[in-house]
Structure 1
């Protein structure tokens, strides 16, 4: 007797299961109108942050604007269902990666409407936005963004005494300075007692030849003379060993500049502050040239460069003619 006749109700193993129906809504004028009464200021801020900085992880979003990752996850699920944001989970060899979020179609159209822009003229395409899931630059982008969301979390914890007052993405920096140099980000940090510090960030993952990294100082030197503004360059390395090797190459390149004071440089690594491995505000920065002084926190780093002018009301990153692009979001979330 065949197995089929003996067990007539048994189904073959590994039968393909039907796909679960998607609960995500279609983007239409009616849907966008309904969202007008559902989106909070924080939701809109998050959408603008994702447009500006391309991708943020669940942990980074929770750091920046929610009391916990669990609370963030609950709201993000709603925004995902409404097509304000999209998500993906990249492969990792060990454990599981956190969910990553990008801007979706409804979110882009809402931001365009807020700024009075034609959504079809924005440099936004959903395929490009979600395509970062397969990009080799994904770890670099999330690593850079994670430093700034850590600063936001610190500012939220310490109240008005510390604040991240500017955070520019790599894309925005490229639009303004890309003909000379392409920083990974620009930031400005205000400390109630120590004052304001601004910087260009170079986030290194250990893949770039050190001589090529050192040659960037020449480009920053040109930028300082072109803009007549002196902005420190902070370089973040993945290990103390990588930082030590880079400092040798950077010191030689810095010494050969026509006017080294126009390019203040400081370095750090993830291992430089074990108690706060991802906190740029911690006492972790070591200025060039080498000195016996200990590593400095971000707030007092400018004291290492006596000839550095104070941060002025107008800086190299303030001249923003957005054109068809969107206005950048404030780095701190709405209350």
Structure 2
């Protein structure tokens, strides 16, 4: 290094690229957004507010015909200050872009609801705080689970009529049921004229299975207090963990005062067919907890109510499992405007 120093020319490296200018959230910019934003853009804004963070792959699967078209539109929304993005560090490969709501998008949403941004509860630093949350992977996993259902509904098989008609975030569920249970999500699936609703427990393989089984008491209390029997779907990462979980769940389920009030079914990601065009939790991967050991068969999501004849199909209540008016901003319809009837 002393006798043969590096020439100054070699230390210049590549010239740094000029950062892309982003529009400031001013009144003039809001006027421009009035004719730039499409119904699909505004739907993406609502989805980011409801679910906090969505990856580029998830947004593309939810609302765009191709990844290229989704990437181009998301870049425009980012340039306009409607969405913000970050890229988490991963040890292998490259993580996709993660998108959160930006100030301009929050202003648009608040104006549509007749609220002030502060009344809506939005803060830019809180929106970005999810980038450092220890639960980021869990949130992305839950959103990926529901995204797979939407993608499945957007690409139905010939003659099939399916749709995800409700998708509540963990935050909304906690607001409604947090005194008893805190599910990772609530959803409704419509298959032709038959619908099914459920609470989701998304097991990431990190919490003790005894804690998972202990949650059944809270769901039993919720069913008793509301008089509504809502199935509980538990998604696990592997079949081995599912087998261990079912033993503990069965024991806790049988100890409930009214086990029929908490129908439980389990499934695992290993059962999905990787060669399918759009594998999703709607496939025949669900095994009810009260199924006999001999002759038990996996059921599709739409066929689970056949295993629970005492469970009534969900009533038409605009996606509210308690048939009550929402206490806050209503959740967005899970299907994008281009693939569903606007509500």
Instruction: State the TM bucket, normalised to the shorter chain.
Output: over 0.9
Assess if the C-alpha contact under 8 Å between 1:165 and 1:188 holds in 2.
yes
Q: Does 1:295 align with 2:307?
A: no
User: What is the CA deviation profile of residues 149-207 of structure 1, one whole-angstrom value per residue up to 9, with x for unaligned ones?
Assistant: 111111111287001110000000010001110010000000005x0010000000111
State the Cα distance separating 1:301 from its structure 2 match: 0.8
Name 2:188's counterpart in structure 1: 188
**Cα distance, 1:21 vs. partner?**
3.4
Matches within 5 A, 1:153-192: 153-158=151-156, 161-192=161-192
Query: Which stretch has the larger CA shift, 183-192 or 302-311?
Result: 302-311
Output the CA distance in 2 between the equivalents of 1:21 and 1:282.
45
Residue matched to 2:219? 220
Q: Which residue of 1 aligns with 2:43?
A: 45
Q: Distance in 1 between matches of 2:240 and 2:135?
A: 23
Question: Where do residues 124-143 of structure 1 align in structure 2 (5 Å cutoff)?
Answer: 124-143=122-141
Task: Measure, in 2, the Cα distance between the counterparts of 1:274 and 1:208.
Answer: 26
CA distance in 2 between partners of 1:309 and 1:122 (Å): 35
- Structure 1: 4+ residue segments shifted above 4 A: 14-19
**Unaligned stretches of 5+ in structure 2?**
339-343
Residue 105 of structure 1 pairs with residue 108 of structure 2: no
Give 1:108 deviation, angstroms.
0.5
Superposition map of 1:1-335 within 5 A:
10-11=8-9, 13=11, 20-158=18-156, 161-192=161-192, 195-275=194-274, 279-291=280-292, 292-314=295-317, 316-323=321-328, 326-335=329-338
| Number of aligned positions between the proteins | 327
Q: Classify the secondary structure of the residue corresponding to 2:304.
A: helix
1:87-114 deviation digits (Å, cap 9, x = unpaired): 1111111111111111100000100000
CA distance in structure 2 between the partners assigned to 1:32 and 1:309 by the alignment = 46
- Report the alpha carbon displacement of residue 22 of structure 1 after superposing the two structures with TM: 3.9
Would you say the 8 A contact 2:282–2:300 is kept in 1?
yes
Distance in 1 (CA, whole Å) between partners of 2:65 and 2:316 is 33
Deviations 1:302-328 (A, max 9, x none): 1111211222234535424334xx332
What is the SS of the residue equivalent to 1:36?
helix
Normalising by structure 1, report the TM-score: 0.92
SS in 2 for 1:271: helix
Q: CA deviation at 1:246?
A: 0.6
Query: 2 CA distance for matches of 1:320 and 1:119?
Result: 22
Instruction: Tell whether the 8 Å contact from 1:197 to 1:299 is kept in structure 2 after alignment.
Output: yes
CA distance in 1, matches of 2:218, 2:245: 17
Q: Contact 2:23–2:79 (CA<8 Å) still a contact in 1?
A: yes
- Secondary structure class of the residue paired with 2:149: helix
Verify the 8 A CA contact 2:232 2:265 in the aligned structure 1. yes
User: Which residue of 1 is the match for residue 341 of structure 2?
Assistant: none
Deviation string 1:4-38 (CA, Å, 9 cap, x unpaired) is xxx8xx54615796673341111111111110010
